[in-house]
Amino acid sequence: MISLLQYRLWYGDGSFKQTEKYQLQLDQLQQQIAVKQQRNKVLEAEVLDLRKGKEAIEETARHDLGLIRQDETFFQVIE
């Protein structure tokens, strides 16, 4: 009887090895969740900025699309 219990403790379902494996998977998933939560916060801040007005939209267009107004002169700095 004791041998059977020892076998289940070390090698069967819910063994120490399996529990450790599940703990490692849980740690990895928690790290992934933390990264995605941080990304969500950044995206949420960007959405709030875009809802505020034209300045945020114009800033995004300048940065991502290279927007230049009609009265402006474009200078490209090469390092």
27-53 pLDDT, tens digit each:
999 999 999 999 999 999 888 877 877
Spatial neighbors of 15 by CB under 8 A, at least 6 apart, are: 8, 9
> What is the rounded CA–CA span in Å between residue 58 and residue 78?
24
pLDDT at 48: 84
Give the DSSP letter string of 2-44: HHHHHHHHHTSTT-HHHHHHHHHHHHHHHHHHHHHHHHHHHHH
State how far Cα 53 lies from the chain centre: 27
Domain boundaries, the chain: 24-62
Q: What confidence score (pLDDT) does residue 28 get?
A: 98
Q: What angle do CA 75, 77, 79 make, to 5 degrees?
A: 175
pTM of the model: 0.51
**Average pLDDT of the chain to the nearest whole number:** 85
Q: Is the pLDDT of residue 17 over 90?
A: no
